[in-house]
Structure 1
Amino acid sequence: TVMAKFARETLHAETAAVLYDASNDYSLGIAEVFRDAFTRMEGKVTAYESYGKDDVDFSALLTKVKVSSPDVLFLPDYYNKVGLIAKQVKEKNLQVTLIGPDGWDSPELAKVAGKAIEGGYFSNHYSPEDTRPEVVNWVKKYREKFGQTPDALGTLAYDATNMLLAAIRKVNSSDPGKIRDALASLKGFEGVTGKFTMGENGDPIKSAVIIQMRDGKQKFLKVVNP
């Protein structure tokens, strides 16, 4: 939903193509969410094509994408596969903006894709370049203790731990049922990765950040709210 909103409202994309791994629940699920959200926002999905987990040649699929002339190409997969696809997009001289989800989050992406990923955008849980006080303080303390910058998964774990502690303090009990109910009713929890409110299905409703690939590095662009 975040990337569909970003594509429509910030990139002003009218059309989108989607390539996804049909054997991967992560890729398939995000592809469906993007397709449905982009369509709800009155965008048009011009190509919706799948590949297998062991595929390395995407030329036939990219030919279909090129014919459909999308404004953006959504690649909901992990960095290694995205890097391969991006290189073949460039080889085909396909003039399209590449966008994707948090599976892109790795310094290896630029190594695999090279200049082919330049200018691409992806969503992530947080960016260490974000200037919110919660982020600045967290990154500073983490670097002082471990000598490196915290990644998104480590930062999510930190937020999850603090959410659990907040729930325990709220009910002043170690009873699992009470703690679970406190977590389920959590609203407006200020974490490093954003402000959390738990949804009806148990998933947190929170903001995300948009990262752009520039000069082979991840650059924080903006925060997007759901």
Structure 2
Amino acid sequence: MNKAELIDALEAKLGSKKVASDALESFLDIVIREVQKGGKVGITGFGTFERADRGARTGRNPKTGETVKIKKTRVPKFRAGTNFKEVVAGRKKLAKGVLAASRASASSVSEAAPVTKKAAAGKKAAATKKAATSKTAAAATTRAATAKTAKTATTAKTAATKATTARGAKQAAATKAAPAKATSRTTAARQTAAKTATKKAAGTAKTATKKATAQKATTRKTAAKR
């Protein structure tokens, strides 16, 4: 089985060729990188991948039989696990239903993926709808507050206008009444002055009459004596 055939076999279990290819490539990349660093990748029941360091030595060319010097090198090494060895040796059989269980699991994953995606889309739509509702409610609240503020301002302006009008009317009435009151006072003063002048004139005339009468009487007396 080559790499392409291995991917096809994985596709039969996982239900997707892309998923199978990505899984195999990822597995190989992780194993190679870890072994290259000198680490080990152990899979229970399967085996262990590790790096082996080989020192410099003398070897022989199998074709010519010539002796050659081999430099120090590093090579990858795989040691099969006990379960793997026993199955290959025929001393143990794989449990029945393993492949079927793998297929069922892959089918469940494939079926669950659209459902999960649909659920996520539903949650996203619900969140979007909720956000839109909240935004609409906030806008309505803002409009109501603006209308209330405008109404309050209009009421205050109307009250101020009425107060100003009443104050103006009161001042106008006071201004109108002031000249009338002043006129009344002037008329009363004039009448009082006229009465005083009349009384004074009458007193003066009466005094003059008395003087004239007294003088006339005196003249008569004087004439009689002579």
TM-score category (smaller protein): under 0.3
More strand as a share of residues: 1
TM-score by length of 1: 0.23
Which structure carries more relative contact order (alpha carbon 8 Å, separation 6+)?
A: 1
TM-score by length of 2: 0.23
